[in-house]
Amino acid sequence: MTLILDTAPLVTFSDVRDPRNQEVRTVLHAERGPLILPAPITAETDYFLATRIGPDSARRFLADIARGVFQVECLDAAEYQLVHEVSLRYADLAPGLADLSIVALAARFRTLRILTFDHRHFRTIRPMQGGSFVLLPADEPAASG
């Protein structure tokens, strides 16, 4: 099954001192489907890794991308239109491009599964394909381990 990745768990994955590190590792190592990384998330993750953990961590992340650990996906024009529409619909939440790119790619890949700690946005925003997002690791701890 396809999993869309958010920034905070990727930073946690890279920080062995983070109390949630093992939880994220368990999810990622158990995942058998593609790990979809929205292009806006790559920039955000690189920034946080470099500033919070260090430049070596950011370089390891780039090496993982280069090796194909993550499938980096850009948005097309229609998806940017969708992002704009969703941003207007949920203006009170003020979701940014990174989170909105997750919503758009979840629609493209027909998945509800997101690796995120951002319950505020993703419990409120409705997927384009209907239903509710499944937020890992919170919603499927047994399936992740």
Per-residue pLDDT reduced to its tens digit, 43-82: 999 999 999 999 999 999 999 999 999 999 999 999 999 9
Determine the 3-state secondary structure of 115 from DSSP: strand
115 vs 136: CA distance, rounded Å? 5
Out of 3.40.50.1010, 3.30.470.20, 1.10.10.10, 3.40.50.11750, select the CATH number for domain 3-140: 3.40.50.1010
Looking at residue 140, its pLDDT comes to 78
* Whether the predicted pLDDT of 142 surpasses 70: no
What would the DSSP string read from start to end of 10-48? Answer: HHHHH-TTSTTHHHHHHHHHH--S-EEEEHHHHHHHHHH
pLDDT at 141: 55
Q: What is the pLDDT of residue 144?
A: 39
- How many CB atoms sit inside 10 A of residue 122's CB? 24
Each residue's pLDDT tens digit, 89-123: 999 999 999 999 999 999 999 999 999 999 999 99
Q: Tokens 């995120």 sit at which residue? A: 116
Give the span between the Cα atoms of 63 and 98, in whole angstroms: 21
Cα distances from 142 to residues 13, 19, 75, 122, in angstroms, run 19, 19, 32, 20
Q: What is the pTM of this model?
A: 0.94
What are the residue ranges spanned by the domains of the chain? Answer: 3-140
Q: Tokens 């969708």 map to which residue?
A: 82
pLDDT at 143: 45
The residues that bridge with 62 in the sheet, in sequence order, are none
Q: Looking at residues 79-90, what average pLDDT do you find?
A: 98
- Find the helix or strand (DSSP H, E) in which 73 lies: strand 71-73
- Per-residue pLDDT tens over the stretch 11-52: 999 999 999 999 999 999 999 999 999 999 999 999 999 999
- How far apart (Å, rounded) are the C-alpha atoms in residues 116 and 138? 9
